[in-house]
Amino acid sequence: MIRSILKYGDRVVHDRAEPVGAFTPDIDRLVGDMIETMYAAPGVGLAAPQVGVPLRIFVVDISIGRDPTGLVVMINPEFVEQDGMQLEEEGCLSVPGFNATVVRPSRVILKGLDRAGGEQRHEGTGLLARAFQHEMDHLDGMLFVDRLRGIKRDVIVRRIRKLSRAGKW
């Protein structure tokens, strides 16, 4: 089932998500819905808080469905390593219509659980590292806008407030 994606300003996307305790049919259904929603959007990643569920789950597929082995499901992820630096433009399904250049690590290693509750580790470089960091931010209640400073951040936030007041956000 495709779920609605919450936008910047909705409380759930600004709060820290809670760890998943038990692997229930509801968790499996949520993961399936997140995958379907991410591909329909289309996007390269989606975190549970973006669909209104404050749990530490995200899905990423930088191939956007073109590579069957490209889908990564992470439950209760943690960083093991982060290094390097990349400076690239990114957007977000929760901040539609806005992009900005964000500093991210160029390489990350994550550990967490897969959809069945088994332990896993994933290393990402380049776009995959960026996607992992972006989704981890969502689990901590941060959006890419929160990583911006100065006038760029102010311009985006002001435009979102204006759209919100006009009922277009």
Catalytic residues, which ones? 135
Three-class SS state of 59: strand
The DSSP result for 28-91, as a single string, is HHHHHHHHHHHHHTT-SEEEGGGGT--BSEEEE-TTTTSSTT--EEEEEEEEEEEE--EEEEE-
Cα 33 to the chain's mean position, in Å? 15
Q: Which of 74, 58, 84, 163 is nearest to 115 (CA)?
A: 74
β-bridge partners, 69: none
Query: Contact at 8 Å (CB) between 4 and 30?
Result: no
